[in-house]
């Protein structure tokens, strides 16, 4: 029986659900922003983060 490939769940999501690093998602948010740099406009980044997707 062959294994089916499914869309992987992001690692940071699994770690967050498992309680790793408490309830501080800073590393995941920073990683997301780094990976998607240039695809969004950063509107606000302090206690909360607000971004706007760029057209394209």
Q: What confidence tens digit (pLDDT) does each residue in 2-45 have?
A: 666 565 555 555 555 555 556 678 899 999 999 999 999 999 99
Q: Which helix (H) or strand (E) holds 16?
A: helix 11-17
Residue with tokens 């770690």: 15
Measure the CA–CA gap between 46 and 13, rounded to whole angstroms.
Answer: 21
Measure the CA–CA gap between 20 and 13, rounded to whole angstroms.
Answer: 10
pTM above 0.75, yes or no: no
């Amino acid at each position: 029986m062959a294994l089916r490939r499914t869309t992987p769940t992001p690692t940071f999501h699994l770690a967050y659900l498992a309680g790793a690093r408490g309830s501080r998602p800073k590393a995941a948010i920073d990683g997301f922003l780094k990976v998607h740099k240039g695809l969004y406009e950063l509107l606000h980044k302090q206690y909360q983060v607000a971004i706007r997707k760029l057209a394209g």
